[in-house]
Amino acid sequence: MKCKLSDICSFRRGKISVDRLNTNNYISTENMLPNKGGITEASSLPTVPLTQEYRKGDVLVSNIRPYFKKIWKAKYDGGCSNDVLVFAANSNTDKDFLYYILANDEFFAYSMATSKGTKMPRGDKTSIMQYEVPVMDIELQRRISSILKSIDEKIELNNAINNNLAA
């Protein structure tokens, strides 16, 4: 059985003062790494007084050129550019499970197929929320995301070991 993405999450709507941000907790499409690589430190902060807010556990996805597959699950609170979509899990959804739903290549393919523009395609927010996801109770979501998270942690550890050996 399937449901729509809008049944398990919503876009975060809050704003945050840029005065409360720094280059570590400000996220833009420029400091999001392609191919699900996470984030790096921002090179600068926006010059506007307020920007889009995100909270720990939210899933941030670059909305420009979805084929780059830029995604990050927030490890702390902060702010981001308007070109970054902030997904907040509903109470019936495990935050890690939401991340894995959105990190799936099928989601990025769907986002590209429904995007607007050719030179700099942007995901269509209305269409994105129509994306179909499997219906699962929260306990099953937690079990699935626990397995996937442990695999990701092992990959991250192996990458750190490889980088250390290369240095």
pLDDT tens-digit series, residues 100-114: 999 999 999 999 999
Cβ pair 130, 7 in contact under 8 A: no
pLDDT higher than 90, residue 61: yes
Cβ pair 29, 70 in contact under 8 A: yes
CATH label of the domain that carries residue 138: 3.90.220.20
Q: Which domain holds residue 90?
A: 2-166
Cβ pair 79, 18 in contact under 8 A: yes
pLDDT of residue 63: 95
User: How many domains is the chain built from?
Assistant: 1
pLDDT higher than 90, residue 52: yes
pLDDT higher than 90, residue 26: yes
Average pLDDT over residues 86-92: 97
- The residue among 81, 46, 133 whose CA lies nearest residue 70 is 81
Cβ pair 35, 158 in contact under 8 A: no
The C-alpha atoms of residue 34 and residue 25 are separated, in whole angstroms, by 18
pLDDT over 90 percentage in the chain: 91
Q: Is the pTM of this model over 0.85?
A: yes
pLDDT of residue 156: 87
Q: pLDDT by residue (tens digit) across 107-147? A: 999 999 999 988 889 999 999 999 999 999 999 999 999 99
> Which residue type occupies 48?
V
